[in-house]
Amino acid sequence: MSNQPILEVKGLKKHFSVKKGMFGAQGVVRAVDGVSFSVMPQESFAVVGESGCGKTTLGRLILALETATEGSVAFEGRDLYKLSNAELRKTRRDLQVIFQDPYSSLNPRMTVQQIIEEPLIIHDAYSGPGQRAKRIDYLLDVCGISQSHLTRFPHEFSGGQRQRVGIARALALNPKLVVADEPVSALDVSIQAQILNLLKDLQREFKLTYVFISHDFSVVRHLCDRIAVMYLGKVVELAKSETLFDDPQHPYTEALLSAVPIPDPSIEKRRKRILLSGDVPSPLKPPSGCHFHPRCRYAQDSCRTTPPSLEESKTAHWTACPINPFKEKPSQAALIEI
Amino acid sequence: MKDKIRHAWKLLRRRPASLVGFGLIAFFFAVAAAAPLIAPPEKNSRDAYLIPQDGYSPDPVRPSAKHLFGTTEQQYDLYYGMVWGTRTAFRVAVVVVASSLTVGILIGGAAGFYGGWVDELMMRFTDIVLAFPDLILAVVIVTVTKPSLSNVMLSVAAVSWPSYARLLRGDVLSIKERDFVSAARALGASDFRILSRHIIPNCIYPLLVVASLSMGRIVITAAALSFLGLGAPVGYADWGQLISLSRNWLLGSNGNPFEYWHTVFIPGFAIFFFVLGWNLLGDAVRDILDPRQK
Please report the DSSP string for B172-218 in residue order: HHHHTTSHHHHHHHHTT--HHHIIIIIIHHHHHHHHHHHHHHHHHHH
**Mutation for A interface: B176, B182, B187, most A CBs within 10 A:** B187
pLDDT per position as a tens digit, B250-282: 777 777 777 778 878 888 889 899 989 988 888
> Could you tell me the CA-to-CA distances from A134 to A203, A233, B213, B282 in Å, in that order?
21, 43, 45, 42
Distance CA B138, CA B97 (A): 15
Contact: A107, B179; criterion CB under 8 Å = no
Residue B252 falls in which region: left (phi positive, over 0), alpha (psi -120 to 50) or beta: left
Please list the ranges in chain B whose pLDDT falls under 70: 1, 290-294
Same domain for A195 and A311, yes or no, is no
Taking residues A50-73, report their average pLDDT.
Answer: 88
* Residue A336 in this model has a pLDDT that exceeds 60: no
A294 is a domain residue: yes
CATH number reported for the structural domain that contains residue A14 in this entry: 3.40.50.300
**CA A193 → CA A185, A199, A209, B182, distances in Å?**
11, 10, 20, 26
B12, B284 Cβ separation under 8 angstroms: yes
Same domain, A177 and A283: no
A100 and A194 assigned to the same domain = yes
Supply the angle between the helices B2-14 and B16-33 in degrees, to the nearest 10: 120
Instruction: Give tens-digit pLDDT for A282-291.
Output: 777 888 888 8
User: A158-167, A244-253, A268-277, B275-284: which has the minimum mean pLDDT?
Assistant: A268-277
Minimal C-alpha gap between B286 and chain A (Å): 15
pLDDT at res. A33: 87
In chain B, the residue whose alpha carbon lies closest to the alpha carbon of A171 is: B187
Residue A334 included in any domain: yes
B4/A118 Cα distance (integer angstroms): 23
Quick check: is A230 in a domain?
Answer: no
- Quote the DSSP letter at residue A298: T
Average pLDDT over residues A117-121: 91
Long-range contacts of A283-291 (CB under 8 A, 24+ apart): A283/A29, A283/A30, A283/A31, A283/A52, A283/A54, A283/A232, A283/A233, A284/A18, A284/A27, A284/A28, A284/A29, A285/A27, A286/A30, A286/A232, A286/A233, A290/A320, A290/A321, A291/A231, A291/A232, A291/A234
Asked if the structure places residue A241 within a domain, the reply is: no
Is A299 within 8 Å of A287 (Cβ atoms)?
no
Q: Do both A187 and A282 map to the same domain?
A: no
Residues in A whose CB is inside 8 Å of some CB of B read 60, 63, 65, 88-90, 92-93, 95-97, 99-101, 104-110, 118-119, 122-123, 153, 155, 166, 169, 173
Q: Is A271 within a domain? A: yes
Within this chain, do residues A171 and A259 fall inside the same structural domain, yes or no? no
Residue A338: predicted pLDDT: 39
Percent of chain A surpassing pLDDT 90? 23
Domain total of chain A: 2
pLDDT of residue A332 exceeding 60: no
Looking at the partner chain, which of B178, B185, B186 has a beta carbon nearest the beta carbon of A104?
A: B178
Please check the confidence at residue A337 and state whether its pLDDT lies above 50. Answer: no
Residue A178 within any structural domain of the chain:
yes
Give the lowest-confidence range in A9-23, A119-133, A145-159.
Answer: A9-23
User: Which residues 6+ apart lie within 8 Å of A149 measured at CB?
Assistant: A112, A140, A157, A161
Residue span of the structural domain in which A213 resides: 7-224
What local confidence, expressed as pLDDT, does residue B290 receive? 66
Contact: B188, A107; criterion CB under 8 Å: no
Task: Provide, as residue numbers in chain A, all residues whose Cβ is less than 8 Å from the Cβ of B187.
Answer: 92-93, 96, 118-119, 122-123, 169, 173
On whether both A209 and A76 belong to a single domain, the answer is: yes
How much of chain A, in percent, has pLDDT values that exceed 70?
Answer: 93
For position A118, what pLDDT does the model report?
92
Q: What is the DSSP string of A185-241?
A: TTS-HHHHHHHHHHHHHHHHHHT-EEEEEES-HHHHHHH-SEEEEEETTEEEEEEEH
Which pLDDT does position A26 carry in this prediction?
73
Is A78 in the same domain as A121? yes
CB spacing of A97 vs B292 below 8 angstroms: no
Whether A334 has a pLDDT exceeding 60, the answer reads no
The answer to whether residues A191 and A52 belong to one domain is yes
Name the minimum distance, in Å, from the CA of A168 to any CA of chain B. 12
Q: Which residue of A has its CA nearest to B294?
A: A156
Q: Which residues of chain B make contact with A96, given a CB cutoff of 8 A?
A: 186-187
Overall residue count recorded for chain A in this entry: 338
What confidence category does residue A165 fall into, taking pLDDT thresholds of 50, 70 and 90? Answer: very high
Question: Residue A303 pLDDT more than 90?
Answer: no
Q: How confident is the model at residue A21 (pLDDT cuts 50, 70, 90)?
A: low
Q: How much is the pLDDT for A25?
A: 67
Residues of A in contact with B178 (CB under 8 A): 104-105
Domain positions in chain B are 2-293
Task: Please tell me the predicted confidence (pLDDT) of residue B194.
Answer: 92
A138 in the same domain as A98: yes
CB A212 within 8 A of CB A44: yes
Q: What pLDDT score was predicted for residue A40? A: 92
Buried-exposed string A185-194: b where 16+ CB fall within 10 A, e elsewhere:
ebbeeebbeb
Encoded amino acid at B240, one letter: G
pLDDT at B291: 58
Of A25-29, A192-196, B231-235, the poorest mean pLDDT is in A25-29
User: Is A1 part of a structural domain of the chain?
Assistant: no
Q: What residues does A14 pair with on adjacent strands?
A: A32
The domain at B2-293 falls in which architecture? Orthogonal Bundle (1.10)
Q: State whether A259 and A201 are in the same domain.
A: no
C-alpha–C-alpha distance, residues A94 and A73, integer Å: 14
Sign of the C-alpha dihedral computed for residues B228, B232, B235 and B236 taken in this order: negative
Maximum average pLDDT range among A110-124, A267-281, B239-253: A110-124
Could you tell me if B196 lies within 8 Å of chain A, comparing CB atoms?
A: no
Q: Do A66 and A189 fall into the same domain? A: yes
Task: Tell me how far apart the alpha carbons of residues A191 and A296 are, in angstroms, rounded to a whole number.
Answer: 35
**Which tops the pLDDT comparison, A9 or B66?**
A9
Q: What's residue A24's pLDDT?
A: 64
Position B293 scores a pLDDT of: 55
What distance in Å separates the CA atoms of residue B101 and residue B212, rounded to the nearest whole number? 11
Q: Domain check: are A155 and A279 in the same one?
A: no
The whole-number pLDDT of residue B121 equals 93
Asked if residue A237 is part of any domain, the answer here is no
Cβ atoms of residues B50 and B235 within 8 Å: yes
